[in-house]
Amino acid sequence: MITPEMSASLRELIGILYETASNPESWRCFLDAATHYFGAQGANLLHLDSAHPALSASLLTGFDPVSADVQQRYRQQQVPLPGEDPRIAYSLKFPNMPFRCADVMPVEKFHATRVYREFLQPSGIEHSLMVQYSDVPEVFAGLALLRGPAQAQFNDADVAALGALVPHLRRATAMRQRLDLLERQAQGGLQVLDALPIGIVIVHPCGRVEFANAAANTIFALNDGIGVVGDRLAGRRRRDADGISVALRRVGCDGGHQAMRLERPSGGTDFQLLITRLGEPEGMLATHRFQSQPRLTVILCNPDDRIETNPQVLQRLFGLTATEGRVLARITAGRSPDEVAADLGVGIVTVRSHLSALFAKTGANRQSELVRKVLRSPAGLS
């Protein structure tokens, strides 16, 4: 039976539990609070996801480093070998149902198990209160509260309190896992953008920069016609700053795209910009927003940048020899056959022979077509 005093403390514990959905660092706070609430020596949270191994996690509180090392070694075996631990087998058979060791088998019989003799007893663990709260076969999600031999065993009120936590454990874990997947997807997308050889900037119509990839930041660092002032994308010259501002507002309002050239004070080739609007976000929150907040993509190119491709990537994509890959990489970078010959220390006749082989293997008829085929292949992004 859960008393009113226990109910108030349990509500506080549930509040800490939901904090873990937005902040995974709060799991330790939750385990510490649960250890205190249940009068336990420590607690162990285990989440194993065979479909998404990167989302698997384990956290242990209340044990000295030696016991934690023992726990780590054992944890690697407890799900693959459920027969070694009757508690795990029981939890898999009865998900969402809290239980004690005594609910699984008589104490004397449990003391004879390998898991008790080789792990629990050496770690000072005598009593366990556990629950496995996943219904998905590829996921094991368990919470265990642990007491030492000098402490009393868990009682029916403890079982009831853990049972009251189960639906909240399930919701908080599902929320955290969903956010983890979204964060990983977002990080992966940003890493792809960051690897592109052209500048990509995500901005709001007001010019506020939300993201700029490495290539864009390299251009900004030149301080040569365009950059970020405060947190706003802007041209260095007044007319360019005004032109960018007008183009951003126009695309933000009407969609479509705007193409621009920016003169560079250094005298280098003008920067080239293409501004487009990103698609609207989906989902309930997007549908019920009071005001839509479009975001724009600014594609930024420096024509003076030399195109660099990886010869080994070219070799694999087009079935080239190592030397042909090196020749093609230099041709793509804008080197003339004479310059390629000098770079490689070979004669011009040899380079022309390699070019003939490259035309045959790529299906190109002219040098310009050869470069175009490379730039349209994955090698252009390598």
What pLDDT was estimated at residue 2? 54
Provide the residue ranges of all domains of the chain, joining segments of one domain with +. 4-184, 196-301, 311-381
Sign for the pseudo-dihedral over CA of 14, 19, 25, 29 = negative
The overall longest dimension of the chain from CA atoms, in Å, is 93
Class of domain 4-184 (CATH, top level): alpha beta
**DSSP track, 262-296:** E--TT-PPPEEEEEEEPPPP-SHHHHT-SS----E
User: What residue type is assigned to position 74 of the chain?
Assistant: Y
Domains 4-184 and 196-301 share a fold: yes
Which region holds residue 21: left if phi is over 0, alpha if psi is between -120 and 50, else beta? alpha
For residues 272 and 301, the answer to whether their CB atoms sit within 8 Å is yes
User: Minimal CA–CA distance to 299: which of 197, 207, 185?
Assistant: 197
For residues 201 and 231, the answer to whether their CB atoms sit within 8 Å is no
Work out the angle at residue 126's Cα, subtended by the Cα atoms of residues 122 and 127, and round it to the nearest 5 degrees.
145
Reported as a single tens digit per residue, the pLDDT across 153-197 is 999 999 999 999 999 999 998 898 888 888 888 899 989 998 888
Reported as a single tens digit per residue, the pLDDT across 90-147 is 998 999 999 998 899 999 999 998 888 888 888 889 999 999 999 888 888 999 999 9
**DSSP track, 77-101:** HHTT-GGG-HHHHHHHHSTT--EEH
Q: Which CATH fold topology does 196-301 show?
A: Beta-Lactamase (3.30.450)
User: What residue type is assigned to position 302 of the chain?
Assistant: N
* Nearby residues of 307 by Cβ (< 8 Å), 6 or more positions away: 197, 332, 333, 334, 375, 380
Pick the CATH number of 311-381 from 3.30.2270.10, 2.70.98.60, 1.10.287.1080, 1.10.10.10: 1.10.10.10
DSSP H helix total and E strand total for the chain: 16, 12
Share above pLDDT 70 across residues of the chain, in percent, rounded to a whole number: 90
Provide mean pLDDT across the span 68-92: 64
What pLDDT was estimated at residue 6? 57
pLDDT at residue 338 is higher than 90: yes
pLDDT at residue 222 is higher than 50: yes
